[in-house]
Structure 1
Amino acid sequence: MKYTVAVRTLCEFTAKCGDLDLRFTPSPTAQEGMEGHAAVRSRRGAGYQSEISLCGEYRNLRVRGRADGYDASLRQVEEIKTFRGELDAMPANHRALHWAQAKVYGHLLCEQQGLEEIRIALVYYDIAQRKETAIVEACSAAALEQYFHQRCDLFIDWAEQELAHRAQRDLALEALAFPHVSFRKGQRQLSETVYKAARQDRCLMAQAPTGIGKTVGTLFPLLKAAPRAGLDKIFFLTAKTSGRQLALDALATLAQGRGARPAVRMRVLELTAKEKTCEYPGQACHGEACPLARGFYDRLPAARRAAVDAATLDKTALRKIALLHQVCPYWLGQDLARWCDVIVGDYNYFFDASALLYSLATSSQWRVGVLVDEAHNLLERARAMYSGELNEYDLHALRQSAPAALRKTLGSLARCWRDTWRDQAGAYQAYDEIPFKFQAALLRASSAITDYLAARPQDGDSALQRFHFDILHFLRLAEVFGSHSVFDVSLRAGRAAAGAQPGRAVLCLRNLIPAPFLEPRFAASQAATLFSATLSPWRFYRDTLGLPENTAWVDVESPFEAEQLQVRVVGRISTRYQHRALSLAPIAQLMASQYLAQPGNYLSYFSSFEYLQQVAGEFIRRFPHIPVWEQARSMDEAAKEQFLARFSADGAGIGFAVLGGAFAEGIDLPGRRLIGAFVSTLGLPQINPVNERLRQCMSAAFGERCGYDYTYLYPGIRKVVQAAGRVIRSHADRGVVYLIDDRYAQARVRELLPAWWHVQLA
């Protein structure tokens, strides 16, 4: 069996040395990189070949990749690198890596075409100056073969170790046993469906209620299917830290084995955000500022080997190994993503525009299985990933302290900025396109800032650099702007008729439908399963998330009985905005009557803090003897923990919370800690210009009938079901949920509620 490795991976593994240096380097965007490559190729002769697929073998190693270009008349292979700034400022270890890649491609080409010698050309193309610099070296085929063998010899021990690990891992996964004595009700159905979808290389959407053990119920079958499905990696992606820990705990349980089945040696890696792992906050990421960046690549091989020997690499274990070898924990984790079997991290590691795992999967041609936990959160998270915002206040503040070399450019940008909203009558306006002059001004400003920072890499984490990153993100989104997004301008309140104070306008490229961006992510996975307690109706999520047409769907049987939960619709009360004043006393009376009939802990949900405070005030005035505690705006972690601590098993009272907030999903209050909930809203998003624009976009993309439902109804009911799901957490739980609004009596609303609920009119 041969181990397959990409040319880039081989060279990074064997040729990178020296410091980690992440000082601002004005690298071209992906689009600029492609344009730069195209510009170089356009200058070549008619016989010039581009993107040549190459493959070679040495002992049990297969090396493959694509050479940028080959000129047969010159017998010259070219490795093209685009850049900005001064070529002489490029770090030496970057140059060494480029030469290594070029020479390996040179060897593979000599072998493919039977050449005895070849010219190796490193072609550096300056994006700003549109000028290329070629560094050429003539090499014999024998010398390149020797160089290639040297690279391979440095990697071969690692490759043999990886082959042995993969074989042992797959044998153990074939024999993997379910870690518990039996499946919970519904858990077997979920596991069997995940396994079948993985074997068929299909995407799956699984609606599975709380309490069946979704984490183990999805990880076990995907791991079990991995050997026969040929999966190289499994990515478990979550929206919250708590989801990551559940996955890590489940993987530890699965790896232990059960009965006569042996333990499974899997390499499990937890990826954590840079700001949460940095050992020297405030220090720049380069050898002159951070001791863990100095000589990073020299110490990386030993740290890497220690890490894969440890196998279980959660945040704590990874940090311990990194500090033992004096390397950066965050960047050690980034390297280990190439060598681990299961990677647990946030959604953004696979779905973001610059996602690490997606990039590695595509460049390395991995077969990957993806599990998306609490997948109902992916829609809003993906919209944020593919949206960008520029605040005029930041530009105004920057102009006050900008260096003289940039003042003219920033002043021109400020004038174009004001022109975008000069004729705008309202506080909010959406546009179908980005003004050409404004986009051109952003490009000029970006180019000027790039040149300025390229000459001053020591400036580090400055306000200028942060603003520039915002511009770059905005410009990248502008390159792919389409009907899935809008360009909108929001003006702060108090704008004068004749003009505005500096800092009034916020310009946003707002993504509304992330499907076009997520579609290639799902296409890059062999088996993707999205699971949640609330994924209904499935077509809403399939359409907006860009899932394939042949995506499978399963609504897993609930482990709970209808008798466990009393669901009562209170249709005599309207919670619409215009009726809220009339609703305060009836809601307060209803809550008190239920509490007095059955004292215990309850949660009462409202559509806004304002509504919450109105009902809470009425309730406290009328029933001062009943304990009450309220969610506040912007609660820190300590305040949230204090709020939840009031729900003790022997306690009694009513907590007031906002629907869709911190206490409406992702919290676990089993048994007597929570015996009921009141939901005084249909959960519909507020009708405002942004949401109305979203409705129009949904109607245009999916049909007029879908516009309202996709924008308002489905997201609203999803929040209601999530909140109600806090009440029944186990087979022993009993409770009551009141759905307070006359619209819950409508058939089209009732059919969106969980099938196991027995809904009664109160």
Structure 2
Amino acid sequence: MRKIALNVKQFALPCPRVGSIETHSGYGNAPTSGQEIHQSVQRQRLRENPKYEAEKKLSYSFLSGPYEFVVSGRADGFVAEPAMIEEIKSAFDVEELQRKMRFEPDHPYVWQLRTYGYIHYKETGVVPKLNLHLVSSRNFKSHTLSIDLDIESYEFWLGLRLKELLEETKVKEKLFKKRVAMAEEMTFPFSSPRRGQKELVQTITDSFSGGEALLVQAPTGLGKTAGILYPSLKESLSRGQKVVYVTPKNSQHQVAEEAVEKIQEQGCKVRSLTITAKSKMCLKNEPLCNPKYCEFAKDYYAKVATHDLVNKMSRLRSLNSEKLKKMGEEFEVCPFELSVEAIEQADVVIGDYNYVFAPRSLVGRLALPLLEPDQKANLVIDEAHNLPSRSQDYFSPTLSTLQFNILEKDFVKLPAQYALQAHSLTARARRLIQSYGTDGVSKIIKVEFEPILDLEKDIRDLTTDYLDSDVEILSQDPILRLMNLWTDFTASIQFAGEEFFQTYQRQNHHEMIKITCCDASEHLKLAYDEFKNVVAFSATLKPFRYYQELLGFDEDAKQVEFQSPFEKENRKLLIIPQISTKFSDRHQSAGKIAETIQRISSVKPGNYIALFPSFEFMRMAQDKLVLPQFKLLVQEREMKQSQIQEYLEELKAAKEPTILFGVQGGVFSEGVDFPGDMLIGAFIVGPALPSFDFEREQIRSYYERRYGKDHAFNYAYVYPAMAKAIQSAGRVIRSESDRGVIVMLDSRFLQNSYFETMPEGWFETSPQELVSRQILQDVKLFWEAHGA
């Protein structure tokens, strides 16, 4: 008899499914807030009754067919004599939750509590009293509901639920065996691996067999996506599990999807699922999961069960947003939630970082083991140099007068009554921010919780009235944006620890209060614990120590660097130290930079990219540029995907020589391929150091305390800047047939803390080798050597 472990939340579900998508649906991930409230209630109960037990573990085995379902969990509160079991649930609007519980006897919260009661009954023969204690997270007002436990009714439900579990487990066993068989048959998707690719595959295989986390620096052209995904998937499938592959942007999913397609073309029937941002999949104007507003959220769980949609999705080889949206429209269900339902059946799940690492992530669903509780999925982190800053941003919300100015411009689209109320709320929000900066000086503060909470209540009340009215919800609706902005900040006030600080800041006549996370490594570690093996890779992960620490990898994590598979002669690397790009020198240097771009690009007309530290500096050089034989394309601060694609198509057509001006870290400097003649040269205009301001200096001080004085400046400024610079340089040589020049302008590229980040193979012993005494002559000779 096979044992299947389930927690009470997984087990105690209505049969058949009922309910809509909303905060307290009882399905999926539990609301993230409320732990402190639980603990506060438990401490109060213990003071009132010394016999009260918090987090009482309860477990029972249910037999069905060839399986033993071991159901366990921890009841929030327990008293033995007289028998009482309590579950605590918190909500901002506790009155609404109370009404919901009274009128929904089949709610998952109710079945969870009944299950704890039934387990106690089976162990003792005593039917306990069951209390559902509801607490407001706003004012701690509470209600206690008594939940009935009729043994005969429960056992009727139990029979239905065990029958469901029996069928679900048979499907899981079939999937488990299929995965193991696929692993045995899998072959590498390319008959002739690129130079270094075979060694990369072996490195991943050896690391996973040894249980080591892995940091891999591998350059463009090595085929690192396939070289890492293939062994990660093969190992995971051999254990009956899946691979979760995450990227910093939705736009970078395509590379992983293409690697999966190559594996499928070899006859391996792996199923892939790409999870796209909810906002892009939503079939309404706004992704508001409220059954009063959204017909695709209303009765979602019943519709999925009635139409057997999980099984329908499992028959498709690959699932993407288009297929899921089509199914959503056909059956009037939420496409994004359908993608979450499909996770278990997928062998490869591709998605954004936030689905694993953000405060409200899907990591619980993504990492859920199939059948074997001690076996977990593998995690692959693409472009991992982005993860430290991205994860810090997840925990660093801002409230600013600029945000309210932008919102207020859109309030004119609202009916007058709501526009007036919204203006009143943003005026209060502005006064609240300004109260922290009476002297107008940036400083460390302690944000008071109560005023933030009071405003949140009023914003929630306005939002509720707004949604209950007949007003059409707008795309980018300002009321909902205000609500989301405020609740995100409110949820983040709970974050504590030396890695967090709170500030008042004044910049360009705008004021803000901000919670800043200097280091999210401890939060990242919690996510890694959900997976069996973790591999992080990028073309820029040096110095390894910096990334190892800020990514939250253990000291024994393995670090490997691979060299470019392309001949060094295919590229011409130059450092021009005579030009300074320091902030104080930019006005003086702009003309010299423009002249350098003009003269070098004129040696061989074609497509070039010049990437700057900022838009302001880019405009300075643009004003000085005189290159009439070239077309000039300029990146804008806000660019639609259609405009980005238009620029790329122009470069691809190569009808006339073109120079693209952009910024480092922007849409054209990372995650974009420029193969062949799309790009024959890049100008990297200085390292794009973060702004030297009050907040960044506080971050530097934290790094000094945590990692040492010698590392603080590099951690706060140099290494993040060099990751952008090296990524920018990597746009030029993308295949063995590419040829190009890479020109780096600034003397700082010759300093140790800067050049230690450079990939192996850029120079032999010193970056001085890249400094030329006859720049134009060297460039001319390079192109002549390549038949230009």
Cα distance in 2 for partners of 1:613, 1:404 equals 40
Query: Kindly tell me: are residues 168 and 619 of structure 1, through their superposed partners in 2, closer, same or farther at Cα, counting changes over 3 Å?
Result: same
- Tell me what 1:221 maps to: 231
**Equivalent of 1:685, from 687, 690, 697?**
690
- Tell me what 2:620 maps to: 614
> Is the aligned partner of 1:423 residue 2:439?
yes
How far apart are 1:337 and its partner, in Å? 2.7
Q: Deviations over 1:270-292 (max 9, x none)?
A: 21222211122258544454333
**Equivalent of 1:434, from 446, 449, 454?**
446
- Tell me what 2:738 maps to: 733
Query: Kindly tell me: are residues 50 and 587 of structure 1, through their superposed partners in 2, closer, same or farther at Cα, counting changes over 3 Å?
Result: closer
Cα distance in 1 for partners of 2:562, 2:149 equals 65
Cα distance in 1 for partners of 2:439, 2:133 equals 45
**Number of residue pairs matched?**
736
> Is the aligned partner of 1:16 residue 2:29?
no
The answer on whether the counterparts of 1:3 and 1:163 sit within 8 Å (CA) in structure 2 is no
Cα distance in 1 for partners of 2:422, 2:726 equals 53
Cα distance in 1 for partners of 2:325, 2:670 equals 31
- Tell me what 1:484 maps to: 499
Counterpart of 1:646 in 2: which secondary structure? helix
The answer on whether the counterparts of 2:293 and 2:467 sit within 8 Å (CA) in structure 1 is no
The answer on whether the counterparts of 2:580 and 2:589 sit within 8 Å (CA) in structure 1 is yes
The answer on whether the counterparts of 2:369 and 2:377 sit within 8 Å (CA) in structure 1 is no
Query: Kindly tell me: are residues 135 and 633 of structure 1, through their superposed partners in 2, closer, same or farther at Cα, counting changes over 3 Å?
Result: closer
Cα distance in 2 for partners of 1:410, 1:577 equals 36
- Tell me what 2:69 maps to: 62
Cα distance in 1 for partners of 2:694, 2:82 equals 61
The answer on whether the counterparts of 2:241 and 2:376 sit within 8 Å (CA) in structure 1 is yes
Q: Deviations over 1:439-493 (max 9, x none)?
A: 2222333355557767887269775664444333223322223321321222354
- Tell me what 1:71 maps to: 79
Amino acid at match of 1:516: E
The answer on whether the counterparts of 1:98 and 1:122 sit within 8 Å (CA) in structure 2 is no
Query: Kindly tell me: are residues 430 and 200 of structure 1, through their superposed partners in 2, closer, same or farther at Cα, counting changes over 3 Å?
Result: farther
- Tell me what 1:532 maps to: 538
- Tell me what 2:786 maps to: none
- Tell me what 1:165 maps to: 175
> Is the aligned partner of 1:304 residue 2:305?
no
The answer on whether the counterparts of 2:241 and 2:369 sit within 8 Å (CA) in structure 1 is no
> Is the aligned partner of 1:473 residue 2:474?
no
How far apart are 1:422 and its partner, in Å? 1.0
How far apart are 1:61 and its partner, in Å? 4.5
- Tell me what 1:107 maps to: 118
> Is the aligned partner of 1:252 residue 2:261?
yes
Amino acid at match of 2:520: P
The answer on whether the counterparts of 2:176 and 2:240 sit within 8 Å (CA) in structure 1 is no
- Tell me what 2:647 maps to: 643
- Tell me what 2:90 maps to: 82
Cα distance in 1 for partners of 2:696, 2:524 equals 21
Amino acid at match of 1:722: Q
Amino acid at match of 1:506: M
How far apart are 1:404 and its partner, in Å? 11
Cα distance in 1 for partners of 2:589, 2:32 equals 58
> Is the aligned partner of 1:592 residue 2:598?
yes
State TM-score, norm by structure 1.
0.88
The answer on whether the counterparts of 1:349 and 1:358 sit within 8 Å (CA) in structure 2 is no
Counterpart of 2:229 in 1: which secondary structure? helix
Counterpart of 2:54 in 1: which secondary structure? strand
Counterpart of 1:250 in 2: which secondary structure? helix
The answer on whether the counterparts of 1:102 and 1:120 sit within 8 Å (CA) in structure 2 is no
- Tell me what 2:766 maps to: none
> Is the aligned partner of 1:328 residue 2:331?
no
Query: Kindly tell me: are residues 409 and 212 of structure 1, through their superposed partners in 2, closer, same or farther at Cα, counting changes over 3 Å?
Result: closer
Query: Kindly tell me: are residues 550 and 93 of structure 1, through their superposed partners in 2, closer, same or farther at Cα, counting changes over 3 Å?
Result: farther
Counting only pairs closer than 5 Å after superposition, residues 392-541 of structure 1 correspond to structure 2 as 392=401, 416-424=432-440, 426=441, 429-431=442-444, 433-435=445-447, 438-447=448-457, 458=468, 466-491=481-506, 493=508, 504-541=510-547
The answer on whether the counterparts of 2:42 and 2:54 sit within 8 Å (CA) in structure 1 is no
The runs of 5 or more residues in structure 1 that have no matched partner are 495-503
Query: Kindly tell me: are residues 761 and 23 of structure 1, through their superposed partners in 2, closer, same or farther at Cα, counting changes over 3 Å?
Result: same
Cα distance in 1 for partners of 2:561, 2:316 equals 39
Counterpart of 2:284 in 1: which secondary structure? coil
**Equivalent of 1:751, from 750, 756, 759?**
756
Cα distance in 2 for partners of 1:585, 1:393 equals 33
Cα distance in 1 for partners of 2:401, 2:664 equals 32
Cα distance in 2 for partners of 1:561, 1:29 equals 54
Of residues 528-537 and 266-275 in structure 1, the stretch that sits farther from structure 2 once superposed is 266-275
Of residues 572-581 and 537-546 in structure 1, the stretch that sits farther from structure 2 once superposed is 572-581
The answer on whether the counterparts of 2:542 and 2:756 sit within 8 Å (CA) in structure 1 is no
Amino acid at match of 2:487: L
Identity of aligned residues (%): 25
Cα distance in 1 for partners of 2:478, 2:638 equals 26
- Tell me what 1:652 maps to: 657
Q: Deviations over 1:286-336 (max 9, x none)?
A: 445433334322220211121112242111222233333332212222222
Amino acid at match of 2:280: K
- Tell me what 1:240 maps to: 249
The answer on whether the counterparts of 2:20 and 2:297 sit within 8 Å (CA) in structure 1 is yes
The answer on whether the counterparts of 1:650 and 1:673 sit within 8 Å (CA) in structure 2 is no
The runs of 5 or more residues in structure 2 that have no matched partner are 764-768, 773-788
**Equivalent of 2:571, from 565, 579, 590?**
565
Amino acid at match of 2:252: G
Query: Kindly tell me: are residues 215 and 404 of structure 1, through their superposed partners in 2, closer, same or farther at Cα, counting changes over 3 Å?
Result: closer
Cα distance in 2 for partners of 1:471, 1:290 equals 22
Cα distance in 2 for partners of 1:406, 1:740 equals 49
Q: Deviations over 1:108-165 (max 9, x none)?
A: 3344x3x33422514222234543414143544x764554233111232122111111
How far apart are 1:210 and its partner, in Å? 0.7
The answer on whether the counterparts of 1:243 and 1:373 sit within 8 Å (CA) in structure 2 is no
Cα distance in 1 for partners of 2:169, 2:129 equals 27
The answer on whether the counterparts of 1:677 and 1:738 sit within 8 Å (CA) in structure 2 is yes
How far apart are 1:413 and its partner, in Å? 6.8
- Tell me what 1:605 maps to: 611
**Equivalent of 1:632, from 620, 636, 647?**
636
- Tell me what 1:383 maps to: 392
Amino acid at match of 1:137: D
How far apart are 1:40 and its partner, in Å? 6.6
Counterpart of 1:108 in 2: which secondary structure? helix
Cα distance in 2 for partners of 1:392, 1:189 equals 53
> Is the aligned partner of 1:354 residue 2:360?
yes
How far apart are 1:743 and its partner, in Å? 2.4
Q: Deviations over 1:603-653 (max 9, x none)?
A: 222222333233333331xx4344433333323333322322332456424
- Aligned-residue CA RMSD (Å): 3.4
The answer on whether the counterparts of 1:650 and 1:672 sit within 8 Å (CA) in structure 2 is no
Counting only pairs closer than 5 Å after superposition, residues 21-36 of structure 1 correspond to structure 2 as 21=22, 29-35=33-39
Counterpart of 1:343 in 2: which secondary structure? strand
Cα distance in 2 for partners of 1:594, 1:445 equals 58
Counting only pairs closer than 5 Å after superposition, residues 678-717 of structure 1 correspond to structure 2 as 678-717=683-722
Of residues 627-636 and 454-463 in structure 1, the stretch that sits farther from structure 2 once superposed is 454-463
Counterpart of 2:770 in 1: which secondary structure? strand
Amino acid at match of 1:196: D
Amino acid at match of 1:100: W
